[in-house]
Structures are given as C-alpha cells and as structure tokens.
Amino acid sequence: MTTSTLDPAGPASLAPSTSTRAPGRATTHTTADHLPLLALLAPLLLFAHGIVAWVDGLDTLDDASPLGGLRGLGGLGGLAAAHDQGALSVTAGALLVLSVGGFAWLTAGLGARLRHLPLATPTALLAAFGAGATGAVWLGHLTGLLGDTIPSALSSGGAVLTGVALAIALIALTLEGRLPAGSLALAGLAGAVLLLPWGLGPLGSLLLLIALGPLTRPVEPA
C-alpha cells in the first residue's frame, strides 16, 4: 500500500506567480501620467486667452467707426463692469488664470522628473506662487478691489514668475538629456514672442505648444 504525502509548498507552487514592481518606478509612472495632458492643455488655454483678449481689445476702435468699436464687449473693472461691459474680459482673465495654473502644475511635474539637479522644490514653489498671484490679481479686478491702473509688473508678474520657473525646469531637463535642445530653443523663442508688446500671444502659445511636444508623449519607466 502506497502512501502519498502532500507538500505544503505544492499548492503555492501551482498558484500563478504575481510580479511586483519597484515602488519607485510605479510612483514615477503614476505621477508623470498627467504631464502629457498638461503639456497640451496649458498652451491651448494660453492660445484661447490670446484670442479672447484680442477680440476683447476690438472695443478700443474708434467710436466713429461703423461698428462703433464693438463697444460693450470689453472692460474688467469689477462685477458691475463685468455685467455691463463685458464678459470677454472676465473670460480672458479666467483663461489666463487656468493657463498659468496649468503651467505651474506642469512645472512641478517636470521638476519631479529631474534626477541629478535638486530643482524640483524651488521651481514648484516659484510656479505655484506665480499662479496664486495671477489668480489674486484677476479676482482683485473682478471684485473691483484693484483698478485698471495698477502697474504692469503687478498685473503680469505672476505669469512671468511661473514662466521663469518653467524655463528653469526645461533647462534642467535639457541638461540631463531628457528634453531635446531644439525644444528648449523653441520654448525660448515662444517666451520672447509672448513678451513682445504687439499682441502676439496666440503665436507665442502655438510655438510653446510645439516646443512642449516631446512632453506630450508618456515617459517609459526606466
């Protein structure tokens, strides 16, 4: 009579094996998932802001023109002005706040990709401060707490700070070989176009969208 003994490890050996990933890799892949979407949406929001702001500026045409300068579409001097003069100014401001916020979030994510340069925290804080300042100025305009005669350094300073933080992150990524040098050069050209006082915001945002094109592709975990 034959007796068979069951190996306790036998059923476990027959069970399908489960593979485990390194926690660091899984975390990197998860936190980087939103970067392609942000690299696409932030420039598009900035482009929409430029278009709306350009249309909003049409109300400064000569009052003697046949269209009457499209008066009534613009103005950003408080809730009453938003109701009486224009939804376009409020929409343009909201699009700018959303765009700057998107660039700030993108900057924080790009800083997390850096492996050698310890710039993640400084760039994230600078970008977040710029986005918060942009939102505060817009709310100040919307509620009438800030007039239209505030210095340009205060009205546009938040967006500039976020742009500086993004530029630092892009330069660091290029130095680490994670971004093509051509994309960095095109991003610099886009920034220069955006700073020109000729209302070329839509063109600059499109150049920035092309420059950030490599970031719209998900990064494969190392």
Convert the pLDDT of each residue in 145-179 to its tens digit.
776 667 777 778 899 999 999 999 999 999 998 89
Q: How far is CA 29 from CA 39, 40, 112, 131, 164, in A?
A: 16, 18, 11, 25, 26
Say whether pLDDT at 18 is over 60: no
Q: How far is CA 33 from CA 113, 114, 153, 157, 211, in A?
A: 12, 15, 34, 30, 19
The pLDDT value recorded for residue 192 is: 94
The more confident residue out of 144 and 106 is 106
Distance CA 195, CA 209 (A): 16
Six-digit token pair at 171? 């330069």
Say whether pLDDT at 211 is over 80: yes
Q: Enter the pTM of the model.
A: 0.73
The 3-state DSSP class for residue 22 equals coil
Amino acid identity, position 63: D
The pLDDT value recorded for residue 181 is: 94
Return mean pLDDT, the chain.
Answer: 77
